[in-house]
Amino acid sequence: MNDNIRGVPVNKFSRKYKLAREVSEAQTNSTKVVEEKSPYAKFRGSKVLYVTDFASLAWCEMQQHYSLMAGGKKETKAMRAGSKIHNELELQVHDIVTIPTKTREDLWGIKFYNVIVGLESLDTNYKTRELPIFGFVSDLFVFGIIDQVGMKKREGEWTISDTKTRVRPFLPDQSKILPSVKYQLMLYKKLFDALIQGAIDEEIIYQRLRLNPDLEFSSELANIIKRFGNLDKGKEKEFQPNLRNLMRIVVNNFGKFRKSSNTLEVNYKYQKDGSDIGSLYFEYEEDQITSYLTKSAKYWKGDRTPDGVPIEEAWKCQICEFADDCEWRLNKIKELSQKKRALAEIT
């Protein structure tokens, strides 16, 4: 299989790699006996959760649960327009090269390699886009991609930013930043800072993802990774292009950075032409994100059932595709009509 190179190099450090072939998760799961019935086991094979898996629970847990049972969210026109703008922004900071993968270790090798590329870009350009990030939430392995990390001045702090597209060419009201967006950004910061502090156990990652850290990458990826052999003077020949060595570089490189700013940014682009509308900012709240993640992790682990929306947010049910069959909503309607009947009997 040939390498498929595309995109225009912007600078020598910034070259990211995409997967030419995702190894089928279903295929690798076929030998696994699924014992647990938690959403983590049922929908994510007890391996990896995504940052959005946590953040999207903030809208309506029940809706997220139904959506997972239905096989995931369908791509909308707005989502397609958003992806196009994200791709264009990414190509402004690095090119994208597609290379083939043969093993699951290759697949994760590319993800971790892209972390290094992102950190090199931060180091040289004070800015990177689509930075892969990972870590643990209540023992669950979480992976995500930060839209942008940047710094205005060398002395400043790293600002973590998420890009949203808007149909209207002006900023929304500050109060309109959705809780899901806030939790998404707060979780990015939590994971980013944890990696900077070196608070990560690589062995648990390999176990959780069922990866062999010592398996050599396939030739295409191995040739790219070998450039890191130059980092250990005199040990070039000993350098093995595998996950264990790649992760060592990831962890070391994170250690060179300072913690990110407590101020988080939501940047808005106009959906029609991708032009910049401006940004809104909010502050990181440690207590808020910790209690939110603890509650969300209980859902993923199957320690509690998902909740529907509270009565004051019942308007969400009006635009929900699962409204007709939603048990939560039907039970609330039943409770309400029982209350009304009881009230009518009293009066």
50 within 8 A of 296, measured Cβ to Cβ: no
| 57 sits near ligand SF4 (criterion: CB under 6 A) | no
Interaction mask 234-263, ligand SF4, x per CB under 6 A: ------------------------------
Helices 179-196 and 243-254 pack at an angle, to 10 degrees, of: 100
Q: How far is the CB of 65 from ligand SF4 (least distance, A)?
A: 8
> Does residue 186 bind ligand SF4 (CB under 6 A)?
no
Q: How far is the CB of 73 from ligand SF4 (least distance, A)?
A: 13
Residues 6+ apart with CB under 8 A from 196: 254, 255, 257, 258, 259, 260
Give the span between the Cα atoms of 254 and 137, in whole angstroms. Answer: 19
Q: Is 60 a binder of ligand SF4 (CB under 6 A)?
A: yes
**Number of residues forming the site for ligand SF4 (CB under 6 A):** 14
**299 touches ligand SF4 (CB under 6 A):** no
- Considering only residues 327-346, where is the footprint of ligand SF4 by CB under 6 A? 328-329
Say whether residue 146 binds ligand SF4 (CB under 6 A). no
* 73 is a contact residue toward ligand SF4 (CB under 6 A): no
Contact range with ligand SF4 by CB under 6 A, out of 172-180, 218-226, 230-238, 326-334: 326-334
Smallest gap from residue 319 Cβ to ligand SF4 (A): 8
Strand spans (E) along the chain: 4-5, 15-19, 48-50, 95-99, 127-137, 140-150, 159-166, 263-270, 276-283
- Which of 66, 192, 206, 292 binds ligand SF4 (CB under 6 A)? It is 66
- Tell me if 320 contacts ligand SF4 by CB under 6 A: yes
| DSSP string covering 173-224 | PGGGS-HHHHHHHHHHHHHHHHHHTT---HHHHHHHHT--TTSBPPHHHHHH
Would you count residue 39 as binding ligand SF4 (CB under 6 A)? no
Shortest CB 316 distance to ligand SF4, Å: 4
- Alpha-carbon distance 79 to 51, whole Å? 17
Span from 6-14, 61-69, 240-248, 262-270 in contact with ligand SF4 (CB under 6 A) = 61-69
Among 73, 95, 317, 338, binds ligand SF4 (CB under 6 A): 317
Instruction: Name the residue type at position 22.
Output: E
Q: By the 8 A CB rule, do 55 and 183 touch?
A: yes
Considering beta carbons, is residue 273 or 325 the nearer one to ligand SF4?
325
Q: For residue 264, how far is the Cα from the chain centroid?
A: 16
Tell me the closest approach of the beta carbon of residue 329 to ligand SF4, in angstroms: 4
**Binding of ligand SF4 by 63 (CB under 6 A):** yes
Q: In the chain, what is the straight-line distance between the N-terminal and C-terminal CA atoms, in Å?
A: 78
Rounded CA separation 105/94 (Å): 24
Structure tokens at 132: 């892969």
Quote the least distance from Cβ 66 to ligand SF4, whole Å.
6
CB of 337: closest distance to ligand SF4 in angstroms? Answer: 17
Distance of closest approach, residue 317 Cβ to ligand SF4, in angstroms: 3
Measuring CA to CA, how many Å separate 150 from each of 89, 95, 271?
14, 18, 23
Would you tell me which residues interact with ligand SF4 (CB under 6 A)? 60, 62-63, 66, 308-309, 316-317, 320, 322-323, 326, 328-329
